[in-house]
């Protein structure tokens, strides 16, 4: 009988300790991925910090593009914006899948959901409707794709791993087309006002 009580107490203590540890972790998937990658580098499992940072940021941005694209495809009133949103879902889902495969091969942990900053943008846009949503979504896509292009260009120049470098350079033309299309839609919306 004493053994059962001791085992029960031990199991209860372990469950409590695990729950406390989980509560102390950040809910931000991006931060969690960054922490896991830092630990892997400290243990010698991964060597290229620039590569890990790039992959985490690319995944975070890709997740936001897909989520906002879904919202735009459903919520936008302008047919061009709806079409652009669907293109974001299609293209960034493919890129995200390639990135996941690559990260798995390289031992890099990627976020499974958008980080806090991107979630704030998603929440902000979700509250908008009509022409205001269309305008703000396209404005964000222009800004975000400019940043993405800079990030991917930097990766092609600075990341040492040839596979990750190839992913960045092969994805760049798609991001440039997205930016060009977003700017065209932005101009079209401004001319309608």
If one counts the domains in the chain, the total is 1
Q: Tell me the pLDDT tens digit for each residue of 122-158.
A: 999 999 999 999 999 999 999 999 999 999 999 999 9
The pair of three-digit structure tokens given for residue 59, joined into one six-digit string: 């995944």
Structural domain contains residue 2: no
Q: Tell me the pLDDT tens digit for each residue of 8-44.
A: 444 344 444 444 443 333 456 566 555 655 655 554 5
Structural domain contains residue 37: yes
Structural domain contains residue 20: no
Neighbours of 40 (CB within 10 A): 17
Structural domain contains residue 153: yes
Domain membership of residue 111 as a residue range: 28-192
User: What CA–CA distance (Å, rounded) separates 16 from 12?
Assistant: 6
Structural domain contains residue 23: no
Structural domain contains residue 121: yes
- Residue with the bigger pLDDT between 162 and 1: it is 162
The model's pTM is 0.77
Question: What integer pLDDT is reported at residue 28 of this predicted model?
Answer: 67
Question: What integer pLDDT is reported at residue 38 of this predicted model?
Answer: 67
Please give the full DSSP string across 87-110, using - where no structure is assigned: HHHHHHHHHHHHHHHHHHHHT---
Give the burial class of 190: count Cβ atoms within 10 A of its Cβ; 0-12 exposed, 13-18 middle, 19 or more buried: exposed
Q: Tell me the pLDDT tens digit for each residue of 35-51.
A: 655 655 554 544 567 89
Name the pLDDT band for 82 (thresholds 50, 70, 90): very high
Structural domain contains residue 182: yes
Report the candidate in 67, 22, 30 with the shortest Cα–Cα distance to residue 52.
Answer: 30
Structural domain contains residue 112: yes
Q: Tell me the pLDDT tens digit for each residue of 94-126.
A: 999 999 999 999 999 999 999 999 999 999 999
Domain harbouring 93, CATH code: 1.20.1260.10
Residue 138 parent element (H or E) = helix 130-158
Angle between helices 130-158 and 162-192 (to 10 degrees): 150
């Amino acid at each position: 009988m004493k053994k059962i009580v001791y085992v029960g107490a031990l199991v209860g203590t372990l469950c409590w300790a695990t729950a406390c540890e989980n509560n102390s972790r950040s809910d931000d998937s991006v931060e969690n991925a960054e922490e896991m990658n830092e630990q892997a580098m400290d243990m010698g499992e991964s060597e290229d910090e620039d590569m890990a940072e790039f992959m985490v940021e690319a995944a975070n941005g890709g997740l936001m593009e897909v989520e906002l694209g879904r919202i735009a495809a459903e919520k936008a009133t302008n047919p061009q914006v709806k079409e652009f949103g669907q293109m974001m879902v299609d293209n960034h889902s493919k890129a995200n899948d390639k990135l996941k495969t690559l990260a798995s091969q390289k031992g890099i942990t990627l976020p499974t959901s958008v980080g806090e900053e991107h979630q704030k943008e998603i929440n902000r846009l979700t509250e908008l409707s009509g022409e205001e949503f269309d305008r703000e979504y396209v404005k964000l896509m222009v800004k975000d794709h400019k940043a993405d292009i800079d990030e991917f260009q930097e990766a092609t120049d600075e990341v040492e791993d040839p596979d990750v470098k190839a992913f960045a350079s092969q994805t760049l033309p798609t991001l440039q087309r997205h930016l060009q299309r977003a700017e065209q839609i932005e101009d079209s919306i401004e001319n309608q006002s």
